[in-house]
Amino acid sequence: MILDVRGVSRSFRAIGRPPVVALDDVYLRVPEGDTLGLVGESGSGKSTLLRCVMRLEKPDEGEVLFRGRDALPLRGKGLRAYRRQVQMVFQDPASSLSPRMTVEQLVGEGMLVHRLERSAARRRERVAELLDAVGIPPDAMARHPVSFSGGQLQRIAIARALAVEPSLLVCDEPVSALDVSVQAQVLNLLLRTQARTGLSILFVSHDLAVVKYLCPSIAVLEKGRIVEEASRDKLFQAPRAAYTRALIDAVPNPDPVRPGPGSRPPKPRPGGNDAEGNHE
Ligand SMILES: Nc1ncnc2c1ncn2[C@@H]1O[C@H](COP(=O)(O)OP(=O)(O)OP(=O)(O)O)[C@@H](O)[C@H]1O
């Protein structure tokens, strides 16, 4: 297991108010090279869980094991190594990428911070390779985020995360802010990257259609508790929890993003590539 969340609980307390239990004894496992989807409605605790995994929030109880070692007590060098190994992609790329930096700086920053590539020329080469891998032309390097579409920015954010060669990518609603026509392109990029690099992915979304497309295993979070965890096929064919059934019933039909488990990714629309500058 690359990630093994064990018994994580987190409550928020404010004076004069009853405590809010955001996470209640949560167990989750992401196998090496695999993808786990985590779904739940707004307020179910998804972001709190990711914040605990990313070490941005301290659970009241529980462990977050990364390759068998608890990441919560890590300090200094160990924490820096963890922060390189586990990268996050956020919902809104426009606010997660500094508008003042060029694409070259944004994608190359992690290599500098983690001292992976000291030569400026080699760093530039790597940035060009990473941009190529996510379908962004190399002449984008000198440009700033403002000159890109949402889908292109999310590709740049993914290139930035991949630049430090992480083992686990934690995705927090990475396509929710994108047009439906662009969502599949970003999801296909994640699938391709995983096939190429063996990356493990924890993918959080409130959108079951998106999770169904990407994730062979899915866990369902309701009010801070995991109410069901199953393979994609099992979850959609025979959901056990009433909450899962309600989420499935809420998925619009026909699904604009995903034809269904095991099916091929959607083909690009004729003439639809240029707007996002990709080659799917
Ligand atoms: N810093 C905080 N202080 C107080 N309550 C919080 C805090 N962070 C989260 N909560 C509460 O914890 C619960 C879970 O919130 P969380 O943001 O993790 O859910 P979510 O599933 O990610 O929702 P969304 O999709 O809307 O972001 C909610 O009731 C939220 O109001």
- First and final C-alpha spacing in the chain: 31
Q: Which tokens hold the place of 65?
A: 């094991």
Give the Å distance between the CA of 11 and the centre of ligand 1. Answer: 10
Give the Å distance between the CA of 278 and the centre of ligand 1. Answer: 35
Give the Å distance between the CA of 147 and the centre of ligand 1. Answer: 32
| DSSP-assigned beta bridge partners for residue 63 | 6
* Residue 261 DSSP one-character state: T
Residue owning tokens 């007590």: 73
Give the Å distance between the CA of 56 and the centre of ligand 1. Answer: 14
Three-state SS at 84 = helix
Atom 14 of ligand 1, residue of closest alpha carbon: 45
Atom 17 of ligand 1, residue of closest alpha carbon: 47
Three-state SS at 17 = coil
* Atom in ligand 1 nearest the alpha carbon of residue 224: 14
Give the separation between CA 90 and CA 73, rounded to whole angstroms. 24
Asked if 171 and 88 touch (Cβ cutoff 8 Å), the reply is: yes
Three-state SS at 26 = strand
Q: Which domains does the chain have, with CATH numbers?
A: 3-96+168-262 (3.40.50.300)
pLDDT for position 259: 46
- What does the pLDDT look like over 118-171, one tens digit per residue? 788 999 999 999 999 888 998 899 999 999 999 999 999 999 999 999 999 999
Whether the CB of 45 sits within 6 Å of ligand 1: yes
**CA atoms 139, 142, 146, 147: torsion sign:** negative
pLDDT for position 276: 43
Nearest alpha carbon to residue 103 among 30, 68, 152: 152
Residue 129 half-sphere exposure, CB side, CA atoms within 13 Å? 9
Q: Which tokens hold the place of 70?
A: 């608890």
Give the Å distance between the CA of 23 and the centre of ligand 1. Answer: 9
pLDDT for position 82: 97
Whether the CB of 22 sits within 6 Å of ligand 1: yes
Give the Å distance between the CA of 21 and the centre of ligand 1. Answer: 9
Q: Which tokens hold the place of 253?
A: 């039909």
pLDDT for position 280: 40
pLDDT for position 131: 93
pLDDT for position 254: 54
Whether the CB of 218 sits within 6 Å of ligand 1: no
Asked if 170 and 137 touch (Cβ cutoff 8 Å), the reply is: no
Site to probe by mutation for ligand 1, drawn from 48, 60, 223 as the one with most ligand atoms within 8 Å of Cβ, is: 48
Q: Extract the residue ranges of the chain whose pLDDT is less than 70.
A: 253-280
Residue 54 half-sphere exposure, CB side, CA atoms within 13 Å? 17
Site to probe by mutation for ligand 1, drawn from 20, 56, 211 as the one with most ligand atoms within 8 Å of Cβ, is: 20
Asked if 90 and 157 touch (Cβ cutoff 8 Å), the reply is: yes
Give the Å distance between the CA of 222 and the centre of ligand 1. Answer: 12
| DSSP-assigned beta bridge partners for residue 168 | 86, 200
**Residue-wise DSSP of 103-137:** HHHHHHHHHHHTTS---HHHHHHHHHHHHHHTT--
Give the separation between CA 139 and CA 192, rounded to whole angstroms. 23
pTM: 0.88
Q: How confident is the prediction for the chain on average, in pLDDT?
A: 89
pLDDT for position 253: 63
